[in-house]
Each structure stands twice: as structure tokens, then as C-alpha cells.
């Protein structure tokens, strides 16, 4: 079975950012065995499927019948050595750096969004309890987050172009393997301070051309999200399962991050033709995945 066609933006915080008893649980999880970075998407799907296979189906994945988080969901954490994170101007906290998958809380956030945007007919067909009960449950779970925010945000079938503004295009990490091999990866890593500096520049330049909506809003929302975490954290942009949809040549030749940074430079130097050319390249590359999404 292929991995989920999901891309991720993750934050890895130092253990010192977590209060007890959660910090102790995370230390125990690290000692017991780390979740492989390449298997994160598969693990998330597994937890969700188990929640739907239970009788009755759980409102949120990764929780016991009484609504408490399962011990295994607390142990679902990615671990990063600070030495694996390229630095520009910022520094990192001492390791290990950890990224809880926060799948239960992420699902709660998605549920809040579903309740806000769905029709009454759809809510009635999907939910086994009242919308108010579900909203109270989701709000309670989100209130348990130690930093007030989940450590992972994700998108299906594509990568939001503003996310590329956070990373250094030259620091891309590519691992080629067969499309079915979880080791096939594309990701960037950067220090939180460097990511915040880049996103603020990008937001300011974007506002000059696009106003406060569109990509500017995405950048502003991303900056606010990053602001919830320890300054010594690391940030990771990961193509996740999207690498299964792209050939080796497409992965190697992909210039999305560089194109986004070139667009920002062109805005700064008042070069509208360059902005248009780079947007066209990005549209051509990511448009292919958009077509596949529509076909599926």
C-alpha cells in the first residue's frame, strides 16, 4: 500500500520545552525506540484506521474508549539530532529535539474546522454524536497541548508555496529509492530563528504585491504558528508521501524552493517579468499533481 500523499511542516523542540510529566514520557519514548522518520505517514494512517475499526468508532484517533490518549500515541514522536540541522544565523538548543506527532490534537483541530464549514446534512451523516459534544471534546483536547499548538501541519497532494520561503533552497536533502520504499524522501531542515527571519521577510515582500490575502495570509499564519514554540527548535519541510508521485528526474530537477526565493528577490528588485516566469514554472510543476488529485 502506498504511503499517504501528504506533505508536512514539522517543529522539533528541545526536551526542556516540555513540563513534567510529559517530558518524562517523551524521554521514555526516546529510550524505548524512536519512530523512523520515513514511517511517520504510515504510522499516522495506522492509528486512524484503528480508531475507525473500533466499535464504536472513536471520535478521535489515538485515544482510549474513555477518551484519554493511548500510551502509544504519547510515544509517537520523531527525534532529531541538532547536528542534522543546517544553521545560518540562528542557533539550536541542545538535543535531542523532538516532534510529537500530535495526531489526536491534529484530528481535533480538523474536526473543529469540519464543524465550522460543513452543512447540517453532512454533519448528521458523519457524526455519531451531537456537533456540540464533538466541539466540546475537540476543544478540550486542543487545550491539553503544552505549547498551545500542534507540532505538525500537513497538506494532501501538494506543498503550499509559501512554505518554501522558510528554508534555504540549497539545503535540500534528497534520497532516491524505488517509489514504494519509505526511504525515498525530500526534505529541508532549518533552525527556528532562521525560519522566522525568512518568513517575516517573505511576508513583508508578499504584502507589497498581493496585499494581506493569499500567500501573505499563509505566511502570517505560519509565523504565528512558529511563534508558539521554543526559540531553539528546528523546522522541517518534508514532501512525505508526495515523493511517490514524482519520478527520480522530477525530484532531482525540482526547483520549487529556489523559484519561491527568486520570486521574493524579484519583488524586492521590482522585476515583475521574473515574478511571472517563476510562477509559471511552479504552476507547471505542481499543476501535474493537482490534476492527479482531481482524477482521484
Q: What is the pTM of this model?
A: 0.91
Is 192 inside any structural domain? Answer: yes
Q: Is the pLDDT of residue 1 over 80?
A: no
Domain hosting residue 239, numbered range: 1-12+157-296
Residue-wise pLDDT for 12-44, tens only, equals 999 999 988 888 888 888 888 778 888 888 888
Instruction: Return the minimum-mean-pLDDT range out of 16-25, 122-131, 144-153, 210-219.
Output: 122-131
The answer to whether residue 295 scores a pLDDT higher than 90 is no
Does 100 reside within a domain? Answer: no
Residue 194 lies in a domain: yes
Q: Is 90 within the bounds of a domain?
A: no
Q: In whole angstroms, what is the distance from residue 268 CA to residue 162 CA?
A: 16
Total domains, the chain: 1
Q: What is the DSSP pairing of strand 185-191 with strand 97-100?
A: unpaired
Cis peptide bond upstream of 96, omega within 30 = yes
- pLDDT tens digit string along 172-219? 999 999 998 989 999 999 999 999 999 999 999 999 888 999 999 999
The answer to whether residue 81 sits within a structural domain is: no
Are the C-beta atoms of 240 and 287 separated by less than 8 Å?
A: no
Question: Is 42 inside a domain boundary?
Answer: no
Is-contact 185 173, C-beta < 8 A? Answer: yes
As a whole number, the mean pLDDT across the chain is: 89
Residue 208 in domain? yes
In a domain, 141, yes or no: no
Q: Minimal CA–CA distance to 15: which of 143, 146, 105?
A: 146
CB of 51 within 8 A of CB of 61?
yes
Please give the pLDDT value at position 176.
95
Amino acid at each position: 500500500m502506498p504511503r499517504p500523499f501528504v506533505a508536512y511542516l514539522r517543529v522539533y523542540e528541545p526536551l526542556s520545552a516540555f513540563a513534567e510529566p510529559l517530558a518524562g514520557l517523551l524521554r521514555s519514548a526516546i529510550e524505548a525506540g524512536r519512530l523512523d522518520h520515513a514511517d511517520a505517514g504510515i504510522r499516522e494512517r495506522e492509528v486512524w484506521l484503528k480508531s475507525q475499526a473500533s466499535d464504536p468508532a472513536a471520535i478521535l484517533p489515538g485515544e482510549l474508549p474513555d477518551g484519554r490518549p493511548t500510551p502509544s500515541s504519547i510515544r509517537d514522536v520523531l527525534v532529531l539530532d541538532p547536528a542534522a540541522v543546517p544553521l545560518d544565523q540562528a542557533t539550536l538548543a541542545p538535543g535531542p529535539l523532538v516532534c510529537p506527532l500530535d495526531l489526536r490534537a491534529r484530528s481535533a483541530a480538523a474536526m473543529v474546522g469540519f464543524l465550522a464549514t460543513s452543512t447540517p446534512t453532512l454533519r448528521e451523516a458523519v457524526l455519531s454524536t451531537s456537533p456540540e459534544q464533538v466541539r466540546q471534546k475537540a476543544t478540550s483536547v486542543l487545550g491539553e497541548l503544552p505549547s498551545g499548538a500542534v507540532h505538525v501541519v500537513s497538506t494532501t497532494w501538494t506543498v503550499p508555496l509559501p512554505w518554501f520561503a522558510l528554508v534555504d533552497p540549497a539545503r535540500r536533502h534528497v534520497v532516491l529509492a524505488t517509489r514504494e520504499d519509505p526511504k525515498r524522501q525530500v526534505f529541508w531542515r532549518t533552525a527556528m530563528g532562521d525560519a522566522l527571519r525568512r518568513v517575516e521577510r517573505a511576508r513583508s515582500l508578499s504584502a507589497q504585491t498581493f496585499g494581506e490575502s493569499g500567500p501573505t495570509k499563509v505566511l502570517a499564519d505560519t509565523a504565528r504558528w512558529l511563534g508558539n514554540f521554543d526559540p531553539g527548535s528546528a523546522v522541517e519541510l518534508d514532501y512525505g508521501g508526495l515523493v511517490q508521485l514524482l519520478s527520480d528526474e522530477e525530484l532531482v530537477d525540482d526547483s520549487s524552493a529556489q523559484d519561491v526565493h527568486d520570486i521574493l528577490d524579484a519583488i524586492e528588485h521590482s522585476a515583475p517579468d521574473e515574478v511571472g516566469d517563476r510562477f509559471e514554472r511552479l504552476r507547471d510543476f505542481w499543476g501535474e499533481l493537482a490534476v492527479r488529485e482531481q482524477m482521484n
